[in-house]
């Protein structure tokens, strides 16, 4: 999550606030350690009941406004509401059973994530795979800690989780503050800032009107200039009827009736004429027997690649993209800079440098700093707080982590693009939107009542 916040807010935005970030990081880290230690002696002083009440209140509030979301945002709100309400009920139920169920849930989540990360690191062997393998082992050990009853017989489950959450959040803020303090501005940003005609941070999308709102109630219209992420899902791009497998055919690959594996495809298109779609220049054998061998992100699996000229050519030769994600708030200049450098190397690797990883990197280059600044203006602390409380930040961070530790696939790229679109083109908060809808309905009702009253007076006068 640290890298994602650094990406979205920008170095220039965070550098102004590194001291405050460091203080907050130390406070959160110390609070996490204190709460965790407090839960070890079976005499918990943390106000668990009060915390459960807050969870329940947040869950009910989220459930009340979940219907105001758009697409994936709506589903995410429902998931969050159900999770918060369920957790609060288990906490308030108390006694051994509620704590035991919570411990099993948290332990299973840590175990599944740790095993998945460890196995993917061992199989794929991407850069820094040993560090990821170590992190996966730590998650497995945490799972064992939650599974076994010692030392509190599951009474300290909730404080453990809160303490760990605060600790890692504080550690992330500390890393963020140290990195932005030491990180130099990129050569491109220095070139932009050194131009005498430029008096402000001007690396933004000039297609967005100067009086544009900071919040958009929905995705871009077809008439709007927007960055487009094209995704061909594995099932949608299979040559014949695919055999449906839950999650596998969504995020990894689909197998058709003839046994041919389809991994899907992803591409990125900008209104300025940039089209990024990397494809292997030679056919890769994707038979089930050899598929495990080519998963490794090593040089022996590199093959020559080629970039497709444009979407019209690619879709005419194959088929139209299955899903599209469009984003308003991006930087054409940053995207062009990235594309000028990236297209110099046409190497293709099924795991480490494929169509999906190319799109993800291009998308990150295009939206870098777009949340911290808008139309050249620093948006202040409010945008930082808003970003922290937006569920899509956690979702995007988890997707990015999973893709980095395994491989970027069209399914992960699709979900990542959707989450980023909610962050860089923020939607209104549910309560604000619901209040606005309620006010509009009241105004319409009042007009109707006034019209009916006027009609009644005219009838009486006759």
Task: Give pLDDT tens digits for 159-177.
Answer: 888 888 888 888 888 888 8
Two structure tokens written together for 182 = 């030491």
Highest mean pLDDT among 121-125, 230-234, 257-261: 230-234
Residues 267, 227 contacting (CB under 8 angstroms): no
Which tokens go with 345?
């190397």
Q: What's the pLDDT band for 191 if we cut at 50, 70, 90?
A: very low
pLDDT at 164: 86
Residue ranges of alpha helices (H) inside 274-326 are 288-291, 311-317
DSSP state string for 214-245 = SS-SSSPPTTS--EEEEEE-TTTT-SSPEEP-
Average pLDDT of the residues in 179-204: 51
Sign of CA dihedral 447, 449, 452, 453: negative
112-127 pLDDT per residue, tens: 888 888 887 777 777 7
3-state class (DSSP) for residue 276: strand
φ/ψ of residue 397, rounded to 5: -65, -40
Which two structure tokens, joined as six digits, stand for 199?
């008096």
Mapped onto helix, strand or coil, the DSSP state of residue 378 is: strand
- Is the pLDDT higher at 23 or at 243? 23
Total Cβ atoms within 10 A of residue 453 = 10
Give, rounded to a whole angstrom, the gap between the first and last alpha carbons of the chain: 71
Provide the token pair at 26: 């130390």
70 or 328, which is more confident: 328
Confidence band (pLDDT; 50, 70, 90) for 457? Answer: confident
What angle (nearest 5°) sits at the alpha carbon of residue 266, between those of residues 206 and 326? 35
Query: 244 — alpha (psi -120 to 50), left (phi > 0) or beta?
Result: beta
- 341 versus 215: the higher-pLDDT residue is 341
Residue 141: pLDDT band (50, 70, 90) is very high
**CA distances in angstroms from 132 to 28, 135, 195, 199, 306, listed in the order given:** 24, 5, 42, 43, 31
**Nearest in space to 84 (alpha carbons), one of 110, 102, 108, 71:** 102
Q: Which tokens sit at 274?
A: 């940039």
Whether the CB-CB separation of 218 and 426 falls below 8 Å is answered with: no
Between 180 and 347, residue with greater pLDDT: 347
Q: What's this model's pTM, rounded to 2 decimal places?
A: 0.76
Q: Where are the beta strands (DSSP E) in 328-407?
A: 347-348, 373-374, 377-378
Name beta bridge partners: 256.
242
Cα distances (angstroms) measured from residue 39 to each of 33, 45, 105: 10, 8, 18
pLDDT of the residue at 117: 83
Residue 445's H or E segment, with its range, is helix 430-461
Paired residues of 307 in beta bridges:
278
- Predicted confidence at residue 255, as pLDDT, reads 65
d(C-alpha 15, C-alpha 284), whole Å:
45
Query: What's the confidence (pLDDT) of residue 384?
Result: 83
Instruction: Quickly count: other Cβ atoms within 10 Å of residue 384's Cβ.
Output: 18
For 28-85, the pLDDT digits (tens) are 899 888 888 887 876 667 777 787 888 888 788 777 766 655 555 567 677 778 888 8
Q: Which of 233, 234, 171, 241 is nearest to 30 (CA)?
A: 171
Q: Which two tokens stand for residue 286?
A: 């994707």
Task: Count Cβ atoms below 10 Å from residue 273 Cβ, excluding itself.
Answer: 9
Residue 260 pLDDT level (bands cut at 50, 70, 90)? low
Task: Count CB-CB contacts under 10 A for residue 292.
Answer: 9
Question: If you average pLDDT over residues 303-329, what whole number do you get?
Answer: 89
Number of neighbouring beta carbons within 10 Å of residue 360: 24
229: confidence class by pLDDT, cuts 50, 70, 90: very high
Separation of alpha carbons 420 and 417, rounded Å: 5
Q: pLDDT band at residue 201, thresholds of 50, 70 and 90?
A: very low
pLDDT, mean of residues 259-282: 85
The DSSP output letter for 327 is E
Local confidence band at 140 (pLDDT 50, 70, 90 cut-offs): very high
Are 234 and 410 spatial neighbours (Cβ–Cβ below 8 Å)?
yes
Q: For the segment 355-388, what is each residue's pLDDT rounded down to a tens digit? A: 999 999 999 999 888 888 776 667 778 888 888 7
Tokens found for residue 328: 């308003």
Q: What percent of the chain has pLDDT over 90?
A: 13
276 forms beta bridges with 268
More confident residue, 262 or 229: 229
d(CA 256, CA 243) in angstroms, rounded, equals: 6
Q: pLDDT tens digits for 385-439?
A: 888 777 788 888 888 888 887 778 888 899 899 889 888 887 766 555 555 655 6
Domain boundaries, the chain: 2-187, 210-424, 429-462
């Amino acid at each position: 999550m640290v890298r994602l916040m650094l990406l979205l807010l920008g170095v220039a935005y965070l550098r102004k606030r590194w001291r405050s970030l460091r203080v907050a990081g130390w406070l959160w880290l110390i609070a996490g350690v204190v709460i965790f230690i407090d839960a070890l002696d079976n005499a918990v002083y943390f106000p668990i009941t009060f915390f459960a009440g807050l969870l329940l209140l947040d869950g009910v509030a989220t459930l009340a406004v979940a219907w105001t979301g758009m697409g994936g945002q709506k589903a995410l709100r429902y998931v969050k509401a159900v999770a918060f309400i369920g957790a609060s009920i288990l906490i308030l139920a108390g006694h051994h059973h509620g704590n035991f169920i919570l411990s099993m849930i948290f332990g299973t989540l840590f175990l599944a994530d740790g095993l998945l990360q460890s196995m993917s690191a061992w199989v794929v062997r991407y850069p820094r795979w040993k560090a990821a393998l170590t992190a996966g082992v730590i998650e497995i050990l945490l799972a064992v800690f939650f599974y076994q009853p010692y030392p509190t017989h599951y009474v300290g489950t909730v404080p453990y989780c809160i303490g760990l959450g605060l600790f890692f959040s504080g550690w992330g803020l500390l890393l963020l503050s140290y990195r932005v303090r030491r990180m130099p501005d990129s050569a491109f940003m220095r070139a932009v800032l050194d131009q005498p005609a430029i008096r402000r941070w001007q690396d933004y999308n000039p297609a967005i009107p100067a009086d544009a709102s900071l919040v958009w109630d929905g995705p871009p219209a077809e008439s709007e200039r927007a960055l487009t992420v094209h995704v061909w899902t594995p099932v949608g791009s299979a040559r014949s009827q695919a055999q449906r497998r839950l999650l596998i055919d969504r995020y990894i690959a689909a197998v058709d009736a003839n046994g041919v594996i389809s991994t899907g495809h992803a591409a990125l298109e900008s209104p300025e004429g940039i089209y990024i779609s990397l494809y292997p220049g030679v056919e890769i054998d994707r038979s089930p027997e050899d598929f495990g061998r080519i998963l490794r992100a090593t040089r022996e699996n590199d093959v020559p690649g080629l970039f497709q000229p444009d979407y019209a050519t690619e879709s005419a030769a194959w088929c139209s993209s299955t899903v599209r994600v469009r984003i308003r708030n991006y930087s054409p200049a940053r995207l062009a800079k990235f594309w000028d450098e990236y297209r110099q190397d046409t190497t293709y690797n099924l795991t480490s440098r494929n169509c999906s990883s190319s799109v993800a990197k291009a998308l990150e280059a295009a939206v870098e700093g777009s949340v911290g600044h808008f139309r050249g203006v620093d948006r202040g602390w409010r945008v930082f707080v808003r970003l922290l409380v937006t569920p899509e930040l956690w979702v995007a961070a988890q997707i990015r982590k999973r893709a980095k530790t395994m491989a970027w696939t069209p399914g992960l790229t699709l979900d990542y693009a959707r989450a980023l679109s909610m962050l860089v083109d923020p939607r209104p908060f549910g309560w604000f939107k619901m209040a606005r809808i309620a006010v509009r309905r009241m105004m319409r009702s009042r007009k109707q009542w006034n019209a009916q009253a006027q009609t009644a007076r005219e009838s009486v006068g006759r």
